[in-house]
Amino acid sequence: MNKNIVFLLLGSNIEPRMNYLREAEKLINQRLGNAVSASSVYETEAWGYISENAYLNKLISVETTKDAFETLEILIETEQFCNRQRTGSDTYSDRTLDADIIYFNEEIINTDKLTIPHPRLQLRRFVLEPLCEIAADFIHPILKFNSLQLLEKCTDNTKVEKF
């Protein structure tokens, strides 16, 4: 069986935020595979919409035998287990848990269901800060810059602080 490395960003801005992150990590370890590395937890402002609730975000890398689409299904089920309510619209909203695939190995996937690498990762300081903590030298397979270079180029000024 092939071993894949997937980078996942977990986020929550509805209390109990830390509990949702812990529960998500536990479920991911049980259903997807073991975490290889994990960033610190960061407190961040909402991105793309206005909210009074700050996010807690954490990036983990997981070794898995699942493919990218199986990984996506496990993440959706994990969000549902953590009471995530999807609105069906494209607008951002507060959430108990958001679990996104940032990278899956060095694969490039572009379907209606899944886009990897995450299409907006280079625009988001709340993704890049924790990514640099655990994978500063990982090279974006499309943009051809490593995580640290992407962070240096990022113009996002939202607040991102270790929690």
CATH (domain of 35): 3.30.70.560
Tell whether 152 is covered by a domain: no
Report whether pLDDT(91) > 90: no
**Strand-pair partners of 10:** 58, 99
pTM: 0.94
Q: Determine the pLDDT at residue 87.
A: 62
Mean pLDDT to the nearest integer, 133-157: 98
Tell whether 81 is covered by a domain: yes
Q: How confident is the model at residue 10 (pLDDT cuts 50, 70, 90)?
A: very high
Mean pLDDT of the chain: 95
Can you tell me which residue has the tokens 């996937």? Answer: 109
CB count, 10 Å around CB of 32?
A: 21
Tell whether 157 is covered by a domain: no
Tell whether 136 is covered by a domain: no
Closest to 53 in 3D by CA, of 41, 40, 68, 43: 43
Torsion angle, alpha carbons of 102, 148, 128, 138, to 10 = 20
Q: What burial letters (b/e) apply to 43-59, b meaning 16+ CB within 10 Å?
A: bbbbbeeebeebbbbbb
- Domain residues for the domain of 85 are 4-120
Tell whether 45 is covered by a domain: yes
Report whether pLDDT(128) > 60: yes
Q: Which amino acid is at 150?
A: L
Q: Determine the pLDDT at residue 53.
A: 96
**3-class secondary-structure state, position 69:** helix
Tell whether 18 is covered by a domain: yes
Q: Determine the pLDDT at residue 83.
A: 81
The DSSP 8-state label assigned to residue 3 in this structure reads: -
Tell whether 67 is covered by a domain: yes
Q: Where are the alpha helices (DSSP H) in 99-138?
A: 125-135
Tell whether 30 is covered by a domain: yes
Q: What's the number of domains the chain is made of?
A: 1
